[in-house]
Amino acid sequence: MHTVKMALEAMATRFELVLMGSDAPSLRAAGEEALAEIAHMEARLSFYRPTSEVSRINRAAASGPVRVSACTFRLLQRAAAITESTGGAFDITVAPLMKCWGFVRGRGHWPARDALQQARSVVGMQHVVLNEPNRSVAFLRDGLSIDLGGIGKGYAIDEAASILKECGVNRALLHGGTSSVFALGAPPDEKGWRVAVPLTRSQADGVCLPQAVVTLNDEALSVSAVWGKAFQNDGIVYGHVIDPRSGMPVAGAELAAVVHPSAADADALATALMVMGTDERSRALQNFGTLRFLVTRATGPVVAHGIDIRARVPIEAPC
């Protein structure tokens, strides 16, 4: 049994791939093809690249329909479906709010009231028209823009995993920045790939502990957390995950982790769970029957469904 490890810098993060099989050259060839697909997805979906399809949509869709590739259109349709299933807790049109709160290329700040009201007025998938016969996108309001950062990385991982399967790879682990993971099959003599999820962050030493351990087999795991981009106002820490419905950043939840067969769905749902209340999470379970998740808050117990939070490793690990 050979083990091949590969890596790629893309989508402002580091993707790492571990493949296991009997033929190392074949594994490497499959891995190179899978990572090339991730780079291709970045060129198409990046919010920051002026040449990407997303940037072209944001520049022109308020003036008229913009035709896009089949791949991008399918992703937009999936994002719209998740928005509906989560009651708007996940919404790719949140980009104006992210900019208003200073989270685009920044760590965040408290916005002016007028600026916040203006941003809220152009957020909502109801202002986006997806025309399937023409495979086009149109915006009904000036100032609206989309950002696929909450689903695009997972989608790219799904596409890469599909390529690995087509190449005959049946044991692999692929992650993007450790926040989006896809496990293909399992290592020899194991039930799955064991992945640790940090449940809290130590502000003093920058390490995460304790950790829940999740076993993945042909499943994806996504983690959304406020760590990284956040700011403090009046003693309250506001994270970079924003509720598209209220226009306000997360101020209570610290982390959400989701296990789902689709990495794209897991990415979007982890973001949605950060802003959802208890009743909303119950409805999400009804819409996504295979969903496993946990949510941690600054105060109060960990909320979990299908993930054993008692399984913890006693060591410290980089966050």
pLDDT of residue 310: 59
Min mean pLDDT across 10-24, 222-236, 268-282 is at 222-236
Residue 155 has pLDDT above 80, yes or no: yes
Which residues face 139 on adjacent strands? 128
Element (H, E) at 154: helix 152-166
Q: What is the pLDDT of residues 174-197, one digit of tens each?
A: 999 878 999 999 999 999 999 988
Residues 6+ apart with CB under 8 A from 93: 122, 123, 124, 125, 127, 128, 144, 145, 146, 244
Q: Which secondary structure element, helix H or strand E, spans residue 239, and what is its range?
A: strand 236-239
The CATH superfamily of 186-318 is ApbE-like domains (3.10.520.10)
pLDDT per residue as tens digits for the range 219-241: 999 999 877 677 888 877 788 88
Give a three-class secondary structure readout of 78-115.
HHHHHHHHCCCCCCHHHHHHHHHCCCCCCCCCCCCHHH
pLDDT of residue 55: 96
Judge whether residue 292 has pLDDT over 60.
Answer: yes
Q: What's the pLDDT score for residue 200?
A: 66
pLDDT band at 315 (very low <50, low <70, confident <90, very high): very low
Q: Is the pLDDT at 18 greater than 90, yes or no?
A: yes
Mean pLDDT of 1-9: 94
Q: Do 186-318 and 60-147 fall under one CATH topology? A: no
pLDDT, position 54: 97
Q: What confidence score (pLDDT) does residue 106 get?
A: 80
pTM for the whole thing? 0.90
Residue type, 319: C
pLDDT at 31: 97
Mean pLDDT of the chain: 88
* Architecture of the structural domain at 60-147: Orthogonal Bundle (1.10)
Domain ranges within the chain, ordered by starting residue: 60-147, 186-318
| pLDDT (average), residues 100-112 | 88
Distance CA 106, CA 187 (A): 40
Predicted local distance difference test score (pLDDT) of residue 169:
96
